[in-house]
Amino acid sequence: MIDLRSDTVTRPSEAMRDAARDASVGDDVYGEDPSVNELQTRAAEVLGTEAALFVPSGTMGNQVAARTHTERGQELLCERESHIYKWELAGLAQHAALQPRTLDGGERGVVTPAQVRDGCVEASDHRPGTGLLSLENTHNSKGGTAHSPDDVAAAAEAAHDLGIPVHLDGARLFNAATAHDVAASAFVDHVDSVMCCLSKGLGAPVGSILAGSLSFVDAARRNRKLLGGGMRQAGMIAAPGLRALENRHRLGADHRRAARLADGIDQVDGLTVTPPETNVVLVETDRPAEAFLDDCESEGLLGVPFDDHVVRFCTHWDVDDGDVDRAIDAVARAT
């Protein structure tokens, strides 16, 4: 079976398992796990922030960020298809008592400075005030679109001009950096916090990073604890995470394979493909997505439904060029 449901389905390599087994560990709730500390120091370096915090998942990273930047009852401004709003069980309401206000970022999910200015609400006797702007790059629901550093800077500047901090959901930030051939810091320099996943495309079995200023990370550590994310000998998972961070260079291969997959599928009658910007391929089908995916599965290929007639395929470390060719054949037989 060729599994293109997500770049999270990769199995830890021998190197990852070695890293876990050989990790030096301590109690991270006391700040004494050397592997966690090394990962956090290196992540801050790579992202260009003062500090970084290891969190078990991207969802926890986003939720901790939202809670850390805001006060109860404020508004959080985000794109209407953003993960933090759409796919995190209304955590913004549950964990931070925030009211989301959404913006329509169009086909690619890019939020403009004018939209940010219009969407921000000033606190008054009747209005709660906007506590945070959350951006997403790459934008998952829009098909892994890679917004440019200038796009991120422009939206962030509009929020900052109004005194509002900015969080970047960069679950796949290194894919965006790869697509634009820049360092991740080219995006992070413009925002107040960033989350990125080590478990998506980089080969770590688990874990994400939340990064920002020293004072932000100190406050975030308390909120991580509050949400149950204080971990003990977490070096067992942080050591593979550190390796994952050094695998950023490999994401270009996923992007090339996504382009090849898209070209191949586009030749098949009844299917329309949006040219991928990163490792996500969205395919529009004449038939209902679920029925099409059932037939793909019978032909040895897995994807996920994204809309009634849209299916997502995602390239990752555990598929090679041959798998991509076989995936194209499977799609052709399924149609």
Give 35 or 140: the residue with its C-beta nearer to ligand PLP.
140
Q: Which of 7, 28, 75, 136 binds ligand PLP (CB under 6 A)?
A: 136
Give 136 or 323: the residue with its C-beta nearer to ligand PLP.
136
DSSP string, 34-48: HHHHHHHHHHHHHHT
Give 188 or 331: the residue with its C-beta nearer to ligand PLP.
188
Q: How far is the CB of 197 from ligand PLP (least distance, A)?
A: 5
Q: How far is the CB of 194 from ligand PLP (least distance, A)?
A: 11
Q: How far is the CB of 83 from ligand PLP (least distance, A)?
A: 3
Q: How far is the CB of 206 from ligand PLP (least distance, A)?
A: 8
Q: 10-18, long-range: CB within 8 Å, 24+ apart, which pairs?
A: 10/201, 10/203, 10/316, 10/317, 10/318, 11/318, 12/203, 12/204, 12/205, 12/240, 13/203, 15/243, 16/203, 16/204, 16/205, 16/240, 16/243, 16/244, 17/240
CB-CB contact of 230 with 224 (8 Å)? yes
Structure tokens at 262: 């898209």
Q: What's phi and psi for 314, nearest 5 deg?
A: -130, 125
Q: Which of 169, 192, 254, 323 binds ligand PLP (CB under 6 A)?
A: 169
From residue 246, give the alpha-carbon distance in Å to each of 8, 167, 216, 250. 17, 24, 25, 9
DSSP string, 286-297: SS-HHHHHHHHH
Report the residue closest to ligand PLP, judged by CB: 58
CB-CB contact of 4 with 280 (8 Å)? no
Q: Which amino acid is at 115?
A: Q
CB-CB contact of 83 with 144 (8 Å)? no
Q: Is residue 4 part of the contact set for ligand PLP (CB under 6 A)?
A: no
Q: Would you tell me how many other CB atoms lie within 10 Å of the CB of residue 165?
A: 21
Q: Is residue 83 part of the contact set for ligand PLP (CB under 6 A)?
A: yes
- Decide the pairing of beta strands 51-55 and 208-212: antiparallel
In which residue are the tokens 């959901």 written?
Answer: 169
Contacts (CB under 6 A) with ligand PLP, residues 186-205: 197, 199
Binding mask 207-236 for ligand PLP (x = CB under 6 A): -x----------------------------
Q: How far is the CB of 18 from ligand PLP (least distance, A)?
A: 23
Q: How far is the CB of 119 from ligand PLP (least distance, A)?
A: 20
Q: Is residue 171 part of the contact set for ligand PLP (CB under 6 A)?
A: yes
Binding mask 38-67 for ligand PLP (x = CB under 6 A): -------------------xxx--x-----
Give 57 or 99: the residue with its C-beta nearer to ligand PLP.
57
- Give the Cα separation of 101 and 82 in Å (integer): 11
Give 111 or 331: the residue with its C-beta nearer to ligand PLP.
111
Q: How far is the CB of 136 from ligand PLP (least distance, A)?
A: 5
Q: How far is the CB of 163 from ligand PLP (least distance, A)?
A: 26
Q: What's phi and psi for 14, nearest 5 deg?
A: -60, -40
Residues that bind ligand PLP (CB under 6 A): 57-59, 62, 83, 136, 140, 169, 171, 197, 199, 208
